[in-house]
Amino acid sequence: MYDRKAVRRRRAALAVFVALSIAILTAYFGESGGGFFHALQRGAQEAFAPIESGATRALKPVRDFFGWAGDTIDAKDQNKELKEEVERLRSELADAQTSRRDARQLRGLVGLHRQEGFPRGTRPVAARVIARSPTVWFSSLKIDKGSGDGIRLNQPVIAAATNTSGSAVGGLAGKITRVTGGTAEVTLITDESSGVAAQVMPAGASGVVKPEVGNPRDLLLDFVEGGRRVTEGTIVVTSGFKASRVESLFPRGIPIGEVTKVDLDEVELYQRVHIRPYADLRRIDIVQVLTRKPPATQTAEVVAP
């Protein structure tokens, strides 16, 4: 039941409290610094100071805990953001490095076609490497172009690299040995089954280039007649020979590599020529397949690049 008397008593008490508070505040601000109310305030502060100090010390571990928890949460958020930033920058760096490597290899292929003596009219088809042989011998590759792009068996494949001076170069990489509609397999010149009829320029000493087992950066040109002395630094190209019904798979004039060392037999009748291939067969990303054989009249001419 609603009690009107109780309500009136509470209102009267509240009015008295408000009036008393106003009177105390008026007296406090009106008196000097040494007055009664100022002294009472100082006394209360001194009386409660130990309690306040104790409460502060007692609650410090709690405050520290919540502060540590907040800092930890902030640090985790920042760590996550930094990790995401690192991943983004790493991805951008990988893309930039891949683009630079592709551009360097494409420049090498363009420079290769511009060399004197390179067979003309071969209609190159560029392709990207999508798989490599699982062994350490660097014997084969798979590319993303196939019969639908004009790729056929035994077509020559060239690739590029960067030489010691930093300029882009290129040379023979291998030949097509398997074709599907959209892919093809390339057997590299470092495969044990590979053999390329070659010629040393400009002397004209000839032989067959075979891989040195276990070393993809060393090819061998065996059984070169000793009368035509081969020197280090000379260029070796495909010879494109024709003999009765036998014809080389590779047109004449494709650079293979550079002579690095020459071994002579005891009577110096034959030379064993070591060749470093121009194509970096361990790091090929882009190749070109020479899908058309040049005219016979052209392949008969070779000018040292």
Residue-wise pLDDT for 236-294, tens only, equals 998 876 554 445 678 888 999 999 988 876 556 677 889 999 887 877 888 999 998 77
pLDDT above 60: residue 304: no
> How far, in Å, CA of 132 to CA of 198, rounded?
26
Task: Look over the chain and give the mean of its residue pLDDT values, rounded to a whole number.
Answer: 76
pLDDT above 80: residue 90: no
CATH number of 105-299: 2.40.10.340
- Nearest CA among 181, 148, 187, 195 for reference residue 291: 148
What's the pLDDT score for residue 186?
94
Q: What angle do CA 113, 114, 118 make, to 5 degrees?
A: 55
Q: Which pTM value belongs to this model?
A: 0.62
Distances (CA, A) of 278 to 142, 225, 253: 20, 24, 14
- Residue 174: pLDDT band (50, 70, 90) is very high
Q: In this structure, what token pair is assigned to residue 7?
A: 């309500």
Neighbours of 27 (CB within 10 A): 12
Residues 300/252, Cβ–Cβ less than 8 Å: yes
What percent of the chain has a predicted confidence (pLDDT) above 70?
A: 67
First-to-final CA distance of the chain: 116
Question: Which three-class secondary structure state does DSSP give residue 277?
Answer: strand
pLDDT above 80: residue 158: yes
For residue 72, give the H/E element and its range. helix 36-114
Q: In this structure, what token pair is assigned to residue 252?
A: 């004449």
Q: In this structure, what token pair is assigned to residue 304?
A: 């040292």
What's the pLDDT score for residue 89?
75
pLDDT above 50: residue 45: yes
